[in-house]
Amino acid sequence: MSSTEIVSAASTRRPIGDRRRRSPLRALGRVPALGWVCALVACANAVCWSIITPPFQVPDEPDHVAYVKQLAETGHVPTTNMGSLPFEEAIALEDLHHTLVAERPENQTILTRAQEQKLQRDLLEAEHSPERGSAYAGVATSQPPLYYALEAIPYSLASSGTLLDRLEAMRLLSAVMGGLTALFTFLFVREALPRVPEAWTVGGLAVALVPLLGFMSGAVNPDAMLYAVTAALFYCLARAFRHGLTRGRAATLGALTAVGLMTKLNFIGIAPGVLLGLLVLGLREMRAQGRRALVPLGIALATAVSPVLAYVAVHVAAGSPALGIVSRGIRTTSGSLWSEASYIWQLYLPALPGTHDDFAGVLTARQIWFDWYVGLYGWLDTTFPGWVYDLALIPAGAIAGLCLREVIASAPALRARAGELVVYGAMCAGLMVLIGADSYRGFPSVDAEYGQVRYLLPLLPLLGVVLALAARGAGRRWAPIVGAAIIMLFLAHDVFSQLQVVARFYG
């Protein structure tokens, strides 16, 4: 991509005053067929992951299922993180030998017909239990309810089956969310690099094949929805930067922010970046339109914070802590602010001179973020042989180099979009700081409790752009070849990741 192509992204903004109304359905109709292919590929991939991953062998899935069960069967959200899981789920976990299999890669899931028959018999009996849901949902208890409320739909639709039938139905909804993540990534890359259609394909399709996206979207976990919502936000922000902040776009951005806040607490790390984006867009409009531009900004901000205000108001009115059950999750940290800042820095980058080395002997960027992106599945118990992680450095280095080459070549044009880039940077930084701050609470007894790549997957749309830039960095002549190679690399990574999971659980 040349500088002029990037400039064109900024200059296609329509003149102020041109605010043609477009319905969301019509906008969907204009999505290129390739975008839908990306969505279908991601969805099919996640469905495969949902079948090959044994029930409850995804981090925290038992707790998330308990949340949905409570909501679907009683209409109430869980209220305690002390207690036990519902009887029906506890039976399933016992018959599936969950405690023996999770985190113990030498143990496989059930292996015989007799074990299967016992499982089915016990599940049928458990269905007749008078117990309905459970106020306990473990680590999921403090999470907001939107994802679980949506999952209550497939849960109820499959209520005639056993718990495992309902689990698979819920996993399928997550798979659809995986498809939406790929679709919005495709659309985001299209907005970011509008004159380079091949780039949309490379970014969208490669992200659709990211194994960790398939793994998490093939499970019951609000992360699946968080990825989709954040990808939609990236797309809408890019669109607003390119075409202006209309009332419709402002309302959409506000609504998506509200949805994000109601999906998973991790969104708190992304929200400041989105609000910064709204402010930058609002100020830009004000320069052109004066105070009239404050209206869309007000709409966006009011919509975005409304669920938080409603949540606080309900709890204050009931005389409970303003943040309800979430208050229990917000514990104060020990140690100084400087120590915490240093820890957060080192969670991603090497220690700075003069600071205590919190991760001595560990290169966190490589060993936590890169290696665990390459392959760490199940309850963090399924890995590739060591040499695979070393080998993966070669294509990763090549992609990084080509991307850097393209960024340097386009530097003058990128400066014209500095505001937009700062906003994306703020979204990244906010999420990374949140992960670091949460991990610091468990430090030093656990080095990096939340140092898991799945928490960074809301930033997948940016990976899509990086891959698209890498393909373009190879030059006009080689860009299609490198783009094809990137897609095939991600496809191979996905297939071998699935085989590794099959070998671990059924081999």
Partner 1 sequence: MRLKITLGTGLVIGVAAIGTTLSQAPSTVARVNMDAHTTFTAVTDRTEACQANEVLPQGTSAIRLRMYAFLGPRVTVAISSDGRVIARGERGSGWTGDAVTVPVNPLAIERSGLVLCFALFLNGDESVDLSGEETAELAAQVASGPLPGRVRVEDLKPGRSTWWSLGPQVARRMGLGHAPSGTWTVLLVIALMGGVVVACSRVILRGLR
Task: Give the up-direction half-sphere exposure of residue 88: CA atoms within 13 A in the CB hemisphere.
Answer: 26
Instruction: Output the CA torsion sign for 377, 381, 382, 385.
Output: positive
Minimum distance from residue 403 beta carbon to partner 1 (Å): 17
Given 83, 105, 298, 329, the residue binding partner 1 (CB under 8 A): 105
SS3 state at 451: coil
Given 65, 77, 91, 119, the residue binding partner 1 (CB under 8 A): 119
**Nearest residue (CB) to partner 1, 20 versus 113:** 113
Please report, as residue ranges, which positions from 121 to 150 form the binding site for partner 1 (by CB under 8 A).
none
**Nearest residue (CB) to partner 1, 92 versus 426:** 92
Amino acid residing at 12: T
CA geometry: angle 441, 311, 65, nearest 5 deg: 65
Given 25, 337, 360, 394, the residue binding partner 1 (CB under 8 A): 360
Given 132, 165, 272, 422, the residue binding partner 1 (CB under 8 A): 165
**Nearest residue (CB) to partner 1, 16 versus 484:** 484
Minimum distance from residue 342 beta carbon to partner 1 (Å): 13
Amino acid residing at 287: R
Tell whether omega for the bond before 444 is within 30 degrees of 0, i.e. cis.
Answer: yes
Given 404, 407, 449, 453, the residue binding partner 1 (CB under 8 A): 449
Please report, as residue ranges, which positions from 479 to 498 form the binding site for partner 1 (by CB under 8 A).
480-481, 483-485, 487-488, 491-492, 495-496, 498
Binding of residue 153 to partner 1 (CB under 8 A): no
CA nearest 445: which of 381, 358, 380, 364?
Answer: 358
Minimum distance from residue 371 beta carbon to partner 1 (Å): 6
**Nearest residue (CB) to partner 1, 322 versus 499:** 499
CA nearest 380: which of 368, 394, 363?
Answer: 368
**Nearest residue (CB) to partner 1, 227 versus 379:** 379
Amino acid residing at 386: G
Q: Pseudo-torsion of CA 340, 345, 346, 348, nearest 10°?
A: 130
Binding of residue 338 to partner 1 (CB under 8 A): no
**Nearest residue (CB) to partner 1, 31 versus 294:** 31
Binding of residue 429 to partner 1 (CB under 8 A): no
d(CA 63, CA 72) in angstroms, rounded, equals 14
Binding of residue 113 to partner 1 (CB under 8 A): yes
Minimum distance from residue 344 beta carbon to partner 1 (Å): 15
CA nearest 429: which of 274, 282, 301?
Answer: 274
Minimum distance from residue 119 beta carbon to partner 1 (Å): 6
Q: Pseudo-torsion of CA 114, 115, 117, 120, nearest 10°?
A: 180
Minimum distance from residue 106 beta carbon to partner 1 (Å): 7
Counting beta carbons within 10 angstroms of the beta carbon of residue 130, is it exposed (0 to 12), middle (13 to 18) or buried (19 or more)? exposed
With beta carbons less than 8 A apart as the criterion, state whether 378 and 58 touch: yes
Given 106, 130, 353, 354, the residue binding partner 1 (CB under 8 A): 106
Binding of residue 115 to partner 1 (CB under 8 A): yes
Please report, as residue ranges, which positions from 219 to 238 form the binding site for partner 1 (by CB under 8 A).
none
**Nearest residue (CB) to partner 1, 311 versus 478:** 478
Given 451, 458, 461, 473, the residue binding partner 1 (CB under 8 A): 451
Tell whether omega for the bond before 350 is within 30 degrees of 0, i.e. cis.
Answer: no
Given 40, 302, 393, 400, the residue binding partner 1 (CB under 8 A): 40
Minimum distance from residue 76 beta carbon to partner 1 (Å): 26
Minimum distance from residue 214 beta carbon to partner 1 (Å): 10
Given 16, 90, 110, 255, the residue binding partner 1 (CB under 8 A): 110
d(CA 205, CA 487) in angstroms, rounded, equals 7
Minimum distance from residue 211 beta carbon to partner 1 (Å): 12
Please report, as residue ranges, which positions from 340 to 359 form the binding site for partner 1 (by CB under 8 A).
357-359
d(CA 115, CA 92) in angstroms, rounded, equals 11
With beta carbons less than 8 A apart as the criterion, state whether 205 and 484 touch: no
Please report, as residue ranges, which positions from 386 to 405 form the binding site for partner 1 (by CB under 8 A).
386
**Nearest residue (CB) to partner 1, 119 versus 237:** 119
Minimum distance from residue 149 beta carbon to partner 1 (Å): 22
Counting beta carbons within 10 angstroms of the beta carbon of residue 415, is it exposed (0 to 12), middle (13 to 18) or buried (19 or more)? exposed
d(CA 219, CA 216) in angstroms, rounded, equals 5
Please report, as residue ranges, which positions from 169 to 198 form the binding site for partner 1 (by CB under 8 A).
197-198
The pair of structure tokens assigned to 3 is: 């500088």
Given 336, 361, 394, 476, the residue binding partner 1 (CB under 8 A): 361
Minimum distance from residue 292 beta carbon to partner 1 (Å): 41
CA nearest 348: which of 333, 373, 368?
Answer: 368
CA nearest 497: which of 394, 393, 397, 389?
Answer: 389
With beta carbons less than 8 A apart as the criterion, state whether 149 and 223 touch: no
